[in-house]
A and B are shown apart, each in its own frame.
Chain A
C-alpha cells in the first residue's frame, strides 16, 4: 500500500506539470480553435530563460531562495508571455481568415523555428541548473518520505490553475475571453475587442507554459532544446483527455494522465506506460468523444 501511495505522489508531481502546460493548449484552442504546436517549445524557452536569468543575475543569492525563485518565476512568465504574443503576431495573425489547416502548418513551422533557434543560441549540449537553489528537504507524509519540492510543484500548479480559473470566471476580461471563445463574431458585435482578447490568451497560455518549464528546470535540473516535444505531446494529450477548450478539463486531464502513467508503469509495465496512457485516452474518447469535461458542441470537430 505504501508503494501505491509513493507511486501516486510520483504521478501527481508529473501530472501537475502536464496540467500546467495543457492549460496553454486549451486556452488557445478555446478561443481560436487552433492547436498551438509551438506551445511545447515555449515551455522549453521558459526553462532556458529561467536558467539564463538565474545564473546571470544571481537572484537567489541577492534575494534569498524563496523570494528569488518567485521573482525569477515572474520574470520568466512575463518574457515567455511576450514571446507568445510575438508568435501570434508573426505566425497566426496573418492566417486568421485562412483555412484552419494553414495555421496548424504555421504552428509546426514555428515549433521547428523555436527549437533550432534555442539550439543555435545555447548549443546542443545539455544545460544544467545550479543544484543548490531548492532545498533538498524530505518531509514525512503519513509515514512516507516525500521530497518537499514535489509537493511545492504540485501546489504551485494547482494555485496557478485555480487563479486562472477565477480570472476567467470572475473578471470582466475573463468574461470577454469566454465570450470570444463562444462566438467571435457575436462578441465583436457586443463591443468586445477580440484581437485584444486573443493577445491576452497568447500571453497567459505561454506564460503558464514558461512557468512549467522553469519548474522542470529547477526540479529535474537538466534542460535541453528538445525537451518541449515530449512534454508538449503529453500535455496535448492531457488537454484532449479533459476536453480541449475547457480549463478545468485541462487540469483534470493533466493530473489524471500523470497518475495513469505512474500507476500503469508501477503495476503493469514501464515500457508500456505510454501505451497504457493512450489506451485510457481512447477508451475515454469512445465513451465521451469531447473529453471528460468537454461540452458537446456540434461544430467543434
Chain B
C-alpha cells in the first residue's frame, strides 16, 4: 500500500514538474557565489537576473518565461562538481559559467553527459575546448590569444629581460607557458625568471626579493587581482620600480584598492574591454540599466561575459524556436555570426571558442583609472 502511495506521489510530482517545465525555460548559472571570487559570482548573478528580467518583461522567449537557477561553485573544483550534478537534475537547457578554468574543467563532462549546453564566461585555459565536447562554448577568448597579445605588448614596450610569475592555477599557468613559448622564439628576448606563487597569502616579499635579484626589465604576472594588488603594493614598498604587466584576471577595480593608487599607477594589463569602453548601443544601454538596478556600474568584465553567454543562448532559443540541445548547439556553432554582444561581435568556431579579436591593453593612471591604450 505504502509503495503504491509513494509511486502515485512521485508520479504527481513528475507530472507537475513536466507541466511546469512547459512554459518556462530554465537556464542554469554556475558561479562562485562564495569563496575568493565571490564578488565575480555575485555580479554574474546580478547580470543574468537583469537580462532575464528584461526578456520576461518583453513577453519571454517564444512566449516562455525564463528562469535563472543559480548554484554556487565556491571557486572550488569539488564544490563545482556537486553544483553541476545538482543543476543537471533541474531540467535546465543551458548553463552559464563558470569563472576559473580549473573549476570549469571539473564540470565539463558532467554537463556533457547530460547534454546540457555550457557557456563558460571566464575560463580561458586552452585545453577546455580541445576535448571535442559538443555542447561546450565560451564567450571569453583563449589563453593563446591572450598570450599573443601579451607577448606583443611586452615586445612593443621594448622589454628584453622578462620575469614571468604565475600562481599554478590552470589559467595562470597556461597563459604563462604560452607567453613564455612565444617570447622564447623571438630573437633577443630573455626569460630570466619563471615561477609560481601560492595564491591567498599576504606576504610576497620573498618572491619579490628573489625576482629583484635577477634584474628583469619587466614582470609579467598571469594570476588574479588580489595577489597582483599585493605584489604591486609590496614592490612599491621595497622601492623597486620595475614595470608590471598583468593578464586579464587582474582587471578588477579592487586591484587599485588593494595596491593603492601610488603603487598601481603605471601597471599594464591585457584584457577584454571594460563595459564602459564599449561603444555598441547594446553595451551602453546594458550598463545604464545595470547602474539604475543595482546602484553601480558592472565591475567585472567576466560578469558581462556571462551576460553575453546568456544572450547567445537566448538568441539561439529564439531563432531555432526550440529548446532541443542539439539544435541549439548546431545553431551556435554554425549559424550565429557576428551576434552583437555586450562585449562586441560574437561568433563561435567548431570547437566552441569565440572567434575574433577581443583583447586590448590597459594602463592604470595616477587616479587609479584603467585607460584603454591605443
A interface residue numbers (CB < 8 A to B): 3, 6-7, 10-11, 13-14, 116, 119, 123-126, 128, 131, 136, 138, 145, 147, 216, 220-222, 224, 226-227, 229-231, 261-262, 265-266, 269-271, 273-274
Contact = CB atoms under 8 A, between A and B. Distances in A.
Contact of A227 (B168, B202, B209): B202
Interface string B275-298: 000000000000000000000000
Given A7-B206, A13-B205, A126-B39, 15 more contacts: A10-B203, A10-B205, A125-B38, A126-B254, A145-B239, A220-B203, A220-B233, A221-B260, A224-B226, A226-B200, A230-B198, A265-B206, A266-B209, A270-B206, A271-B168
A14 B230 contact: no
B258 A262 contact: no
A231 B202 CA distance: 9
B233 A265 contact: no
Contact of A269 (B33, B42, B195, B258): B195
B224 to A, nearest CB: 11
B207 A270 contact: yes
Contacts of A14: 203
9 contacts: A7-B210, A11-B206, A116-B34, A126-B39, A136-B237, A221-B230, A270-B197, A273-B206, A274-B198
Contact of A124 (B34, B203, B205, B209): B34
Contact of B230 (A7, A116, A222, A226): A222
A122 to B, nearest CB: 11
B202 A216 contact: yes
A271 B196 contact: yes
Interface of B: 33-36, 38-39, 41-42, 168, 195-198, 200-203, 205-207, 209-210, 213, 226, 229-230, 233, 237-239, 254, 257-258, 260
Contacts of B229: 126, 222
Contacts of B41: 124
B36 A230 contact: no
A266 B195 CA distance: 11
A222 B201 contact: no
Nearest to A127: B257
A123 B34 CA distance: 9
B254 A10 contact: no
Contacts of A262: 206
A13 B234 CA distance: 13
B260 A229 contact: no
A125 B39 CA distance: 5
Nearest to B32: A124
Contacts of A266: 206, 209-210
A46 to B, nearest CB: 14
Nearest to B256: A128
B154 to A, nearest CB: 21
Contacts of A126: 39, 226, 229, 254, 257-258
A230 B205 CA distance: 17
Which of A125, A230, A271, A274 lies at the interface centre, i.e. has the most chain B CB atoms within 10 A of its CB?
A: A125
B305 to A, nearest CB: 19
A263 to B, nearest CB: 9
Contacts of A3: 209, 213
B258 A222 contact: yes
B196 A229 contact: no
A256 B357 CA distance: 50
Given A138-B239, A226-B200, A270-B196, A128 B257 contact: yes
